[in-house]
Amino acid sequence: MIRIYGIASCDTCRKARQWLTSAGIEHAWIDLRTDGITRERLEQWREVLGDAALINKRSKTWRDFDTKQRQATEAEPLPVLVDHPTLIKRPILETPTTTLAGFSAARYEAALAGAD
């Protein structure tokens, strides 16, 4: 099963979902804002993606954090990401063999080749 995690109001998430639909790839949509995210799932993503690819430092939430909150997030991001899923770089695409952060048609095409 292919899953895409994101936030409905995010333009990049909408582009990724449109790309998947246009390519005829069935997928499940999980809205991080309404559905939330588990620490266990974040731990899996962290193993694959690393902290730098998981934390969205361009998000409004990050910009609203003070220096102390940013440092705490960088030191131990998982509890903060559970509480503030808008800090997660998105969309997150999960396939049976790959996890990707962000959207690139070329990366999606390569990751999903034959995975429909």
Q: Which residues are catalytic?
A: 10
Q: Give the helix/strand (H/E) hosting 107.
A: helix 105-112
CB 101 within 8 A of CB 92: yes
CB atoms within 10 A of CB 87: 22
